[in-house]
Amino acid sequence: MAKGKLIVISGPAGTGKGTVINGLMERERYALSVSATTRKPRGFEQDGLNYFFKTVEEFEEMIKNGEFLEYAKFVGNYYGTPKKYVLEKLEEGKNVLLEIEVEGAMQIKKNYPEAALIFLLPPSEEELESRLRGRATDSEETILKRLARAKEELAQKDKYDYQVVNIEVEQAVEEIEEIIRNL
């Protein structure tokens, strides 16, 4: 069995990363990486399914032992991609999808150079703003923060191996599938 490929997908909030990843997950040979975190589980979340929930001490021990492909501290909690889980899935022949921020993607590229980094782009900044406002879940302040963060992230798109514009979900999924087939 051929070894799977590690695929990193990044992009600003509102580009449709989750929807595109769900489209890929409906196909065979994909596994979604499960991150570790020190934050407390939310009501519906299950250990090993949504996250690997760790204490700060456990997480810091894992850092010391080199057990992460990437990790970061965000809003007082650690988040990271456990190496063991990802490598097991790759050995099983699964293509492993990681949805992470630019900082984590750059760590992945350094620690696992054969990974393919794909940056998902909105059709335009206007469309991105429209999508964020269309969610109707965020305050005006949060939307403005997300738009400012999107500008910062978009400025780093050239650090990625591939860029895919998500005009229509099925087309974006097909384009990513084509990239993966050609790796």
List, edge to edge, every strand of the sheet that includes 77-82: 52-53, 36-37, 77-82, 68-74
Polymer length in residues for the chain: 183
* Alpha carbon distance, N-terminus to C-terminus of the chain: 16
Q: Count other Cβ atoms within 10 Å, centred on residue 166.
A: 24
Cβ proximity of 155 and 163 under 8 Å:
no
pLDDT tens, position by position, 110-154:
989 999 999 999 999 999 999 888 887 788 998 998 899 899 999
Which helix (H) or strand (E) segment holds residue 170: the answer is helix 169-181
* Residue with tokens 């992009």, as numbered in its chain: 11
* 98 vs 30: CA distance, rounded Å: 11
CA triple 32-153-66, angle to 5 deg: 50
Collect all residues with Cβ–Cβ distance below 8 Å to 74 and sequence separation of at least 6: none
CATH class, 6-181 region: alpha beta
Q: Which residue ranges make up each domain of the chain?
A: 6-181
pLDDT tens, position by position, 32-77:
999 999 999 988 899 998 899 999 999 999 999 999 999 998 778 9
pLDDT tens, position by position, 4-24:
999 999 999 889 998 999 999
Cα separations (Å) of 146 from 78, 82, 122, 139?
Answer: 21, 27, 14, 11
Which helix (H) or strand (E) segment holds residue 78: the answer is strand 77-82
